[in-house]
Chain A
Amino acid sequence: MQDERRPVAENPRPDPRLAPVRHGLTVNGRSVTVEAAPGTRLLYVLRNDLALNGPKYGCGLGQCGSCTVLVDGRALRSCAIPVRAAVGRRITTLEGLAEGGRLHPVQEAFIAENAAQCGYCLNGMIMTSVALLAAHPDPSEAEIRSGLQGNLCRCGTHVEILRAVRAAASRLREARTGSDGDDA
């Protein structure tokens, strides 16, 4: 079984499925057009065509979470999303979280808590936490841990990350109460 790596492809002509096609995407609020085969993973398009370094290649198997982006507000794995499936959806990367020149409260909390060692998983941790806190503004410790369960960190930064998510949750709640007050 190890001898032949895999069967020779039957067709030596250019594979039409690999032919580049134009896709209109909405990334970080901007409309952009990229040319890539429809099955090209969104991660490659974001990194190589749009020069966005936030999402990281970690496994290509949807296991580790390094490549997480927000798709219509949900934290999904860009290594498993074909670019064609991203058309018509709102894509947000780490670079697009800041609003009006101000970092997202989750980013602020991660920075304040020094919640990174090598920082390679940081993108996934922040993006997953943003989506988690949007869905659960007041999460319990168990909910935070379970929400981040699919994001792997090898440096062992979990303690600082958990602290950052808790801090971000209170920042967000305070901001919400504050703005509610302003509205009233």
Chain B
Amino acid sequence: MTVHPAERRRHWQEAHDLLLVYRETKGRPPRLGDAPGAALAAGPQRALYLAVDSDGRVTAFNGHVDLGTGIRTALAQIVAEELDVPFDRVAMELGSTATTPDQGGTIASETIQIAAEPLRQAAATARRHLVEAASRRLNRGLAELVVEAGTVRVAAEPDLGVAYGDLVRGPRVELDLDPDAPLKASADYAIVGRPVPRVDIPLKATGAWTYVHDVRVPGMVHGRVVRPPAPGVDSVLGGLLLRVDEASVAHIPGLVAVVVEGDFVGVVAEREENAAEAARCLAATWRSFDGLPDLNRPEAALRGNPAKARRLLDEGDVERALAHATARLDRTYVWPYQMHGSIGPSCAVAAFEDGNLVVWSGTQNPHVLQSDLALLLDLPEARIAIERHEAAGCYGRNCADDVAADAALLARAVGRPVRVQLTREQEHAWEPKGAAQVMDVRGGLDAEGGPAAYDFETRYPSNGAPTLALILTGKVAAAPAVYPMGDRTAVPPYAFGNARVTVHDMPPIARASWLRGVSALPNTFAHESYIDELAIAAGIDPIEYRLRYLDDPRAADLVRAVAERAAWVPHTKPGTHGGARDILYGRGFAYAVYVHGPFPGKAAAWAAWVADVAVNRVTGEVAVTRVVVGQDSGLMINPDGVRHQIHGNVIQSTSRVLKESVGFDATGVTSREWGSYPILAFPQVPEIDVLMLPRQDQPPLGAGESASVPSAAAITNALFDATGIRFRELPLTAEAVRAALNPPRIAGPDAPPRRRRGFLAGLLGAGAGALALATTLMPWRPAYPSIERPDPAAYSAATIVQGRLVAAAGACLVCHAGPDRASFAGGRGIETPFGTIYASNITPDPVAGIGAWSYPAFARAMREGVSRDGHHLYPAHPYPSFSGIAERDLQALYAYLMAQGPVAAPAPATALRFPFNVRPLMADWNALFHRPAAIVDPARSPDWNRGAYLVEALGHCGACHSPRNALGAERRGAARLAGGFADGWEAPALTGLSRAPLPWTEDDLFAYLRSGRSARHGSAAGPMADVVASLGPLPDTDIRAMAVYLASLAGPVPAPRPESAAAVAPPGASSLFQGACAACHEGGAGGDLVPLGRVTSLHSAHPDNLIQAVLNGVPAAAERFTNPDPSAPPAAMPAFRDTLTDGQVAEVVAYARARYAPGAPAWDGLEAAVARVRALKPHAGL
């Protein structure tokens, strides 16, 4: 735990033995979206920048924070250098509002370039003071003194010196920062400009670092939020919530509160997993929203978005030049919505104490967050402290501030410290996206092949993304503000002569805010693609062409250096790199200087790329194989850190260009996990050759984003070189590239999906007809008189034990389990085509249960399906099977049930659709279908006969595994055990009709029934997992007998399987499968999973079980079974119900089928099947 911020603040304000350097500014720094004059209106600010203590330790304070870029290390280098203390004597305190200066948000690569300057001056101020103090103490002139490692020495007398700490001891001394304090010459640098290992990594590599996710406060409880069903669309929030049903989470242990304020909904529980479960279960009813325009292909939506044109540049005469152009090139470039994609979803902890709020947060804007929370909670800013801890890298504005506000609201509501962790789905859905962008260029060539004019327009629908809780609670209107941030690097770097640059400022459509390379990356995609197009049109090498119009000498130096490093071969046509078989090779160039900050902005580091690509012309897959990247960053404080940033920028931007595009539907974001938003993984990482220009004598420039900026154009230019095709819309997915390389010759509409006749309609129609024809025979049977509940003591212990085994073999609990999942209190709804049938209470309660039933009444119900009072039971109760139960087993079962504790709660009444709700008709049904028959074959082994009894009678396997006819009766003969459905799950064929890819042997069946898993076929899930769990008490001999019998059903010949041509993986699905499933199903991260190619459900005629598994997950063996297979993996399959859309599940399922059951035909109508299975209540399990 960190020291409380108020205590730290008091320490720095009051303690002695300190030398402190303060700086006073007229107002706070301007903020994005500020009202005019707001910054100055904040009044004078006096803030601490540096402290030296009596041990000679230095603490330096900076309002900017480390987003994983290593500025904690780089800033400490700057301080150590200027103060002449060893690097390890300097500690940085970053971003805590209680102690650090407000220097604005950590954005736009400003930290080293701008925010570090006062720190350097503060260190110089302190150094001068200390040297002067030493001069007095040592009685020597200033010129005689040198500073070495925090000790001021007399140069000529090496033994004479005084340490900083000794000079500081005594009353505290507060200095004002002197902007004129002399700075060290860069030539004298000994710490700055040299590689220094990052200070945080040893702690991070051992689990000893405290990320915001790791903050624990005494008494802390856990919160989760529930967001409205408009994922990632903040402009429609407010008034969406209709009601919240708190009873829906009453079953959650340790639930502390359900908190609702406007559209803000949160839950708090003592334990984190219970808070997560409460958020999952909370029934909230919202007004629906489905008005989002198509943002998957965002061009039309952006053009239709209201905008205000802002002219940034107008030189020469563009219209005249265009009129005289010898060749016109008008182009449009489109950038997709993208995500920051922090690996750790945002998290925060908030605690109120005596009316003061402390929030531990991963924010990049601590002081802005402080203001936001003041507004949200009606608290003065002085009562709010933001303690900044590192979080997962954010690369811009993610949900860090949102979750901080969520935590504050929940902490206020429950009066205890609350930690809130967003889910992966929430971070993906709600993080303010990097906006889509549309860039238009009008231009062309003049008579000499030069650029005639450059008329550039850009559209960037984004703002600062107000903190969600402010909108959800109604503190801030949802109407989106317009931020003028589309202008970053909008002015091209080339001297075009006639040039015009216009930015269309516009509000966001989906929630959007800054993402690394804010608007500059897309703008440069256009600039650097276009100049390549011009060069090729002019018949001039693209690099040479650029150099003609690049009048910035440092830029030209960099371009030449990178071209030379990459051994660039000038060329004027595509295709110079050739190819081999299906692979085409290409090479492209791009350059940019990242101009950031409000227009006209400041230039950060210069960067240039040469990218090599390989393209598979058949599949469309693009690989970036090598990048030569050069950067001129001026003085590099920590060259290792700069190199690291360049690597990161190259990889992240390559990922964005090749793969990344947020998916939307009309309600909002559909990319809510890593499968539907894939990012570059290790196998696709290019070789990267970094060239850092030595400019240590020049001022330092921001290096956190620059190397991203040329990426898109370098790669698309390389793709043009490889294929001769220009890609002006990103990302370069295999589907997009394949489509461009192989345009369809006949564009026909896809065959309309085959409409299946309504399954229920068909059944009901047939059933009603058949029933109408049947004559009513004995509609009612006599009642057995009620009895006193039999005394369990009347039965021997052995009988009751035997009854327990019978109940286990009959899996009674699978249907009759009560809400506690242990008693036989019933109430579970069993979905049938005829309606929901509720299992009855079979505990010995005389009213609600069967306590008043005599044994004959019980036996009749079991064997003939007639209740004690004479009414007919529905054949969901499998009395046709039970008719074969041996008398002694039935008696033992009766004894066992009567020995259970009575439960007085009645089960819900079953209400079926007409005509199935007419119970007397069941008599007709029985007349038609009830054919009690025991299977006995004296020619077979005793095991076989025992197995037949357990499978056919007691186990009533046919109740699920036999198909049923239109009236719900099990079919017999060849159809017996040929596969059926139960509770929304397919019960596959147990006969020769099984589609399992490997035949089920007796040993396979034994393993499966005993442990719930066969390594050759897969794991039991859904209702079958309950059956296996129920069979737990049976001895191995009984399980073996069942296996013997079942194995005999398949017959000696392997089941014939329909063959079809090897299916082709559907386009686009592989990346979803790769991101969502492959880590466990191909990479082993879940343990020894049964290979998907062997899993029966992938080979079935019905996709239902696979869909069930994807939507609802599969519990781990250890969760479900008393005797789990020791080799079963410990992991459960996660449920993707709340993560993937129907279309995405269909995509994954289709891909898995095509890939792992290549001989089987593709499943039809998958999306509808997913919707159907989703609508079923998930199987609850025992």
Binding site for B on A (CB under 8 A): 2-20, 36-41, 44, 47-48, 51-54, 56-66, 68, 71, 74-77, 79-82, 84-87, 89, 93-95, 97-98, 103, 107, 110-111, 114-123, 126, 128, 142, 144-146, 148-160, 162
Instruction: Decide: A9 and B248 in contact? CB cutoff 8 A.
Output: yes
Q: A85-B1130, A150-B1083, A154-B342 are in contact. List 17 more A-B contacts (CB 8 A).
A: A5-B226, A6-B280, A53-B209, A64-B343, A75-B1085, A76-B1086, A80-B1133, A81-B1132, A82-B1130, A110-B205, A116-B201, A119-B68, A119-B201, A123-B207, A145-B683, A146-B683, A153-B343
Binding site for A on B (CB under 8 A): 67-70, 197-198, 200-202, 204-211, 213-214, 216, 222, 226, 229, 245, 247-253, 271-274, 277, 280-290, 340-345, 390-393, 395, 421, 423-424, 640, 644, 647-652, 655, 667, 673-675, 679-683, 685, 688, 819-822, 1075-1076, 1078-1080, 1083-1087, 1115-1119, 1129-1134, 1136, 1139, 1177
Which secondary structure dominates chain B's binding surface?
A: loop
What B residues does A159 contact at CB under 8 A? 647, 651, 685, 688
Instruction: Decide: A77 and B644 in contact? CB cutoff 8 A.
Output: no
Instruction: Decide: A2 and B214 in contact? CB cutoff 8 A.
Output: no
Instruction: Decide: B651 and A5 in contact? CB cutoff 8 A.
Output: no
Nearest Cβ distance between residue A54 and chain B, in whole angstroms?
Answer: 3
Nearest Cβ distance between residue B517 and chain A, in whole angstroms?
Answer: 13
What B residues does A148 contact at CB under 8 A? 682
Instruction: Decide: A117 and B648 in contact? CB cutoff 8 A.
Output: yes
Instruction: Decide: A111 and B201 in contact? CB cutoff 8 A.
Output: yes
Instruction: Decide: B647 and A156 in contact? CB cutoff 8 A.
Output: yes
Assess A44 versus B271: contact at CB under 8 Å? Given A8-B283, A58-B424, A148-B682.
yes
Assess A120 versus B253: contact at CB under 8 Å? Given A9-B248, A18-B277, A77-B1086.
no
Instruction: Decide: A61 and B673 in contact? CB cutoff 8 A.
Output: yes
Query: Nearest chain-B residue to A3 (Cβ)?
Result: B288
Instruction: Decide: B201 and A156 in contact? CB cutoff 8 A.
Output: no
Q: Which of A11, A79, A122, A159 has the most CB of B within 10 A?
A: A159
A-B contacts, 29 listed (Cβ < 8 Å): A4-B285, A9-B247, A13-B251, A18-B251, A57-B345, A58-B344, A58-B424, A59-B673, A61-B1134, A61-B1136, A62-B1086, A64-B674, A66-B344, A76-B1087, A76-B1131, A81-B1131, A87-B1118, A95-B208, A111-B205, A114-B197, A114-B198, A119-B200, A119-B204, A120-B342, A120-B344, A149-B1079, A155-B393, A157-B644, A158-B680
Instruction: Decide: B209 and A119 in contact? CB cutoff 8 A.
Output: yes
**In the docked arrangement, what's the CA distance between A93 and B206, Å?**
9
Assess A65 versus B1119: contact at CB under 8 Å? Given A9-B248, A76-B1130, A123-B207.
no
What A residues does B207 contact at CB under 8 A? 52-54, 93-95, 123
**In the docked arrangement, what's the CA distance between A75 and B708, Å?**
33
Q: Which of A36, A76, A82, A85 has the most CB of B within 10 A?
A: A85
Q: Which of B222, B251, B283 has the most CB of A within 10 A?
A: B251
**In the docked arrangement, what's the CA distance between A82 and B250, Å?**
23
Instruction: Decide: B1079 and A65 in contact? CB cutoff 8 A.
Output: yes
Assess A154 versus B281: contact at CB under 8 Å? Given A5-B286, A146-B682.
no
What B residues does A4 contact at CB under 8 A? 283, 285
Assess A57 versus B344: contact at CB under 8 Å? Given A5-B283, A81-B1130, A149-B681.
yes
Instruction: Decide: A85 and B1118 in contact? CB cutoff 8 A.
Output: yes
What B residues does A86 contact at CB under 8 A? 1130
Q: Which of B68, B343, B667 has the most CB of A within 10 A?
A: B343
Instruction: Decide: B344 and A12 in contact? CB cutoff 8 A.
Output: no
**In the docked arrangement, what's the CA distance between A16 and B345, Å?**
30
Q: Which of A51, A93, A150, A162 has the most CB of B within 10 A?
A: A150
Instruction: Decide: B1119 and A85 in contact? CB cutoff 8 A.
Output: yes
What B residues does A123 contact at CB under 8 A? 207
What B residues does A155 contact at CB under 8 A? 68, 393, 648, 652
What A residues does B1087 contact at CB under 8 A? 71, 74, 76
Instruction: Decide: A37 and B1131 in contact? CB cutoff 8 A.
Output: no
Nearest Cβ distance between residue A152 and chain B, in whole angstroms?
Answer: 6
What B residues does A15 contact at CB under 8 A? 251-253
Choice from B345, B682, B1136 contacting A149 with Cβ under 8 Å: B682
Nearest Cβ distance between residue A92 and chain B, in whole angstroms?
Answer: 11
What B residues does A160 contact at CB under 8 A? 644, 647
What B residues does A97 contact at CB under 8 A? 206
What B residues does A116 contact at CB under 8 A? 68, 198, 200-201, 204-205
What B residues does A156 contact at CB under 8 A? 647-652, 655
Instruction: Decide: B343 and A10 in contact? CB cutoff 8 A.
Output: no
**In the docked arrangement, what's the CA distance between A66 and B674, Å?**
13
What A residues does B277 contact at CB under 8 A? 18
Assess A154 versus B392: contact at CB under 8 Å? Given A15-B252, A77-B1131, A118-B67.
yes
Instruction: Decide: B393 and A6 in contact? CB cutoff 8 A.
Output: no
Nearest Cβ distance between residue A97 and chain B, in whole angstroms?
Answer: 8
What A residues does B209 contact at CB under 8 A? 53, 119
**In the docked arrangement, what's the CA distance between A153 and B321, Å?**
48
What B residues does A13 contact at CB under 8 A? 250-251, 819-820
Query: What are the nearest 5 A-B pairs in CB distance?
Result: A118-B68, A150-B1079, A156-B651, A54-B207, A156-B648
Nearest Cβ distance between residue B644 and chain A, in whole angstroms?
Answer: 7
**In the docked arrangement, what's the CA distance between A151 and B344, Å?**
13
Q: Which of A9, A48, A107 has the most CB of B within 10 A?
A: A9
Query: Nearest chain-A residue to B66 (Cβ)?
Result: A118
What A residues does B391 contact at CB under 8 A? 118, 120
Nearest Cβ distance between residue A113 and chain B, in whole angstroms?
Answer: 9
Instruction: Decide: B424 and A80 in contact? CB cutoff 8 A.
Output: no
What A residues does B287 contact at CB under 8 A? 3
Query: Nearest chain-A residue to B1083 (Cβ)?
Result: A150
What A residues does B344 contact at CB under 8 A? 56-58, 66, 120
What B residues does A5 contact at CB under 8 A? 226, 229, 282-286
Nearest Cβ distance between residue B781 and chain A, in whole angstroms?
Answer: 32
What B residues does A144 contact at CB under 8 A? 682
Q: Which of A9, A81, A119 has the most CB of B within 10 A?
A: A119
Choice from A51, A62, A65, A121 contacting B1131 with Cβ under 8 Å: A62
Q: Which of B198, B205, B271, B273 has the most CB of A within 10 A?
A: B205
Instruction: Decide: B1131 and A12 in contact? CB cutoff 8 A.
Output: no
